[in-house]
Amino acid sequence: MSLVYLLGALFLIMLLLLVTMATPKIQRFAGHIALLAPLVASIYFLWQLPQVMHGHFVSVKIPWLTLLDINIDFRLDGLSLFFSLLISLIGLAVFFYAMQYLSKEHDNLPRFYIYLLLFMISMLGVVTANNTILMYVFWELTSVSSFLLIAYWYSKGDSQFGAIQSFMITVFGGLALLVGFIMIYTVTGTNSISSIIEQSDKIAESNLFIPIVILFLIGAFTKSAQFPFHIWLPKAMAAPTPVSAYLHSATMVKAGIFLLFRFTPLLGLSDFYIYCVTFVGLITMIFGAVNATRQFDMKAILAYSTISQLGMIVAMVGLGGGFAQHPTGALSEAYGFILFAALFHLMNHALFKGALFMGVGIIDHETGTRDIRRLSGLRKAFPITHIVMLLSALSMAGIPFLNGFLSKEMFFDGLVSAVELPQFNLSLTIVITFIGVLASIFTLIYSAYMIKEVFWGDYQKADLPIKSPHEPFIFTLPSAIMMILLPVIFFVPNIFGHHVILPALRSITIGEKVDNVAPHIAQWHGFNLPLILSIIVIVVGFTMAFKINWKNYANKFKVKSITDLYLGSYNQFEHYSGYGIRTLMNNRLNHYITLTLLIFSMVVIYGIIQAGFPDVQQIHVSEFGPIEVITLIVVFVLGIALTFIRQRLTMVILNGIIGYCVTIFFILMKAPDLALTQLVVETITTILFIVSFSRLPNVPRAKVHKKREAVKIVVSLLMAVIVVTLVFIAQQSDSMPTISTFYHDAYNLAGGKNIVNAILGDFRALDTLFEGMVLIIAGLGIYTLLNFKERRGQDERE
């Protein structure tokens, strides 16, 4: 239950943040309160580290909708602990950094920290969930919380557009993932992720396997910004820099990669998955790296670098996916090595990318700009930030004596060793190696180019919006700590590899003995092909970075981006959807009623055609006398009269008389409860209609439109025939079994002594829930109508 207690503590901290919103005096302390959340989470996950290292895991399962196997089910194993540590420890740095970045006077601090904490909780839920539906709930919560964070400065157009675009793309991927989860449930009959992994062979033999793989890939690619779904990530830079640092280093973009890791034992059974993930990752890697060299905004450079680095990790996950097909033997070591390298680089990327974004945030905060064309020689004004960003950029580029070099070497080793895998021949190995090396060259180019333009050269103070920038030490502290870890990991990598990465690898490989698969990370492997490739990348990269004027390159080459295609499609969709809504919603009540009744009629007629009309078993006609006949004649005459009368008050009164006639029928049929209900409802509605229509003008007789009246008469007659038909069908009791026997055990099943309460509260709980939602929607509609004139007048004034 410790995981539940942790989530409870995090939600309690969120409630405290809500309290600060109501008390302006303590709003400035919202950051200190929020900082408790990642601190508590970090302590908890570090405390669980020894237990998970020894092959144990923490699990919590609370039954919920057991018939559908939807339960509150959490599992903390090596893989989820690895990601949880990244989320909580990086979150600790980001929360502390945000306290220095945001303004206590101008920013709504409680709102920001509530969004950020919801983001952290959602990611922890994704990586610890052991139920597919529970994972989906948290998966979509990450989209919602990221939308709120990106749109935090909602008055800016870029924030609005970036939030909407990211939300639409990631939610689309989430819906695809949900369909994949449902397909798995139809095959296995379970939503438990651990049980699904155990039935991987059964799923692979199903006809739904390839559609499941495709849907999972859509979900993962949209979340982790893989080509061509990458376009939302650069636009998300409109968010405050702490959000960007968190989103890029340890949270949302890593959710898709986590999904691939978690389901590798299932998805890796398909060669299609291995090829697709590998090549999409490599295409994304080189696409992001090339586009990073064309940017002037430092956050945009880092955004495309994140796309590129994520592509690199995804490519490694794809190469290692074959472990599912070869869990033992020599091939398992090759696949396991690549998966280990992917995890190792994922950790390295979280550190150097978090430090880079924090450095950019410091520069933006203190100088007022992120444009590298206006920044130069900042190493004098920002000496600590200069060292932090220099080492972080070199680590990202894969320069020796930094952690990024080790994982880049392992990446190259995995590429050149792909020829040993059954899915890749020599030609494919050469292709993927060439793409990986070329992308790495551009990675070094934009890394060195950014540092050179911003920190080196002459200090141009006159070009800065803020003329006297300074570098508060406490502002640089989180990024400096992350920077220190970069050379530390290089010199003692196996401490992290043995204690953090190896347990994660065990979880991916279904608990197999993988200690012999996990490599011993060494700084020197001899003079081999991966080292030669690294030397080529360093020499060519530095030469091109310093010999080519990349500012001119960015200005000369303008290409049509996928974002432009997205904008065009979005504008067309908005235009046609707006036209359709305006055509359908034309503020004419008769139009709405006619359309609704016609659709209902078509549905009923279609149902009768498909199911057939029931056999006539009996026709029951109640006994009737003179009173029933007279009342029926009155209803018939009034119904015909209503089609010709144009005065609204007269129509309301006659309609009320018809209702009272129905009350008489209930009395004659010995149904006093129905008669009383009908009498009360009819009286109230008649009075309400009279009060409402008394304020409206009567429609003159001369304005009768014959075609419209004909349509109304046809619709009315059609509805009358359908209602009578449905009553007639309902009378055929022998054709359909009664449901009354189902409620005989209502007390035992629902625990309710009152049958009506049992039906509404248990048997029809969802129906009752949606009835409540209907009332809420109706209330919102009434509120909108009451304010319609005021808003229309305001729009006209504007």
When comparing pLDDT for 792 and 737, which is higher? 737
- pLDDT over 60 at 511, yes or no: no
Q: What pLDDT band is residue 793 in, cutting at 50, 70 and 90?
A: very low
Rounded to whole angstroms, the Cα distance separating 259 from 264 reads 8
pLDDT in the model for residue 480? 94
pLDDT in the model for residue 567? 67
- pLDDT over 70 at 386, yes or no: yes
Q: What pLDDT band is residue 594 in, cutting at 50, 70 and 90?
A: confident
Tell me the mean pLDDT in the region 373-388: 88
**pLDDT (tens digit, 9 = 90+) per residue, 200-229?**
999 999 999 999 999 999 999 999 989 888
**pLDDT (tens digit, 9 = 90+) per residue, 305-338?**
999 999 999 999 999 988 888 877 778 788 888 9
pLDDT in the model for residue 792? 45
pLDDT in the model for residue 188? 93
pLDDT in the model for residue 795? 43
Query: Are 451 and 390 contacting, i.e. CB atoms less than 8 angstroms apart?
Result: yes
pLDDT in the model for residue 732? 65
Query: Are 118 and 110 contacting, i.e. CB atoms less than 8 angstroms apart?
Result: no
Rounded to whole angstroms, the Cα distance separating 411 from 345 reads 9
Least confident of 444-458, 708-722, 783-797: 783-797
Q: What pLDDT band is residue 96 in, cutting at 50, 70 and 90?
A: very high
Rounded to whole angstroms, the Cα distance separating 493 from 532 reads 22
Record the tokens describing residue 131, joined without a space. Answer: 């139920």
Rounded to whole angstroms, the Cα distance separating 239 from 248 reads 12
Long-range CB contacts (< 8 A, 24+ apart) of 152-161?
A: 152/111, 152/112, 152/115, 152/239, 152/240, 152/243, 153/238, 153/240, 156/238, 158/235, 158/238, 159/238, 159/239, 161/235, 161/238
- pLDDT over 90 at 19, yes or no: no
**pLDDT (tens digit, 9 = 90+) per residue, 269-301?**
999 999 999 999 999 999 999 999 888 889 999
Radius of gyration of the CA atoms of the chain, in A:
33
- pLDDT over 60 at 514, yes or no: no
Tell me the mean pLDDT in the region 364-389: 88
Rounded to whole angstroms, the Cα distance separating 229 from 320 reads 23
Q: What pLDDT band is residue 467 in, cutting at 50, 70 and 90?
A: low
pLDDT in the model for residue 397? 92
Q: What pLDDT band is residue 616 in, cutting at 50, 70 and 90?
A: low
Taking residue 302's Cβ as centre, other Cβ atoms within 10 Å add up to 28
Tell me the mean pLDDT in the region 23-47: 88
Length of the chain as a residue count: 798
**pLDDT (tens digit, 9 = 90+) per residue, 544-582?**
988 887 766 665 555 556 666 666 666 777 778 888 787
* Helix, coil or strand: residue 699: coil
* Helix, coil or strand: residue 797: helix
**Summary mean pLDDT of the chain:** 85
Least confident of 554-563, 599-608, 657-666: 554-563
* Helix, coil or strand: residue 213: helix
Least confident of 430-444, 495-509, 743-757, 772-786: 743-757
- Counting beta carbons within 10 angstroms of the beta carbon of residue 586, is it exposed (0 to 12), middle (13 to 18) or buried (19 or more)? exposed
Q: What is the share, in percent, of the chain residues with pLDDT greater than 90? A: 40
Residue 671 corresponds to which amino acid? A
pLDDT in the model for residue 651? 83
pLDDT in the model for residue 619? 65
pLDDT in the model for residue 797? 40
**pLDDT (tens digit, 9 = 90+) per residue, 164-208?**
888 989 999 999 999 999 999 999 999 999 999 999 999 999 999
- pLDDT over 80 at 737, yes or no: no
Least confident of 119-123, 170-174, 508-512: 508-512
Most confident of 247-251, 517-521, 708-712: 247-251
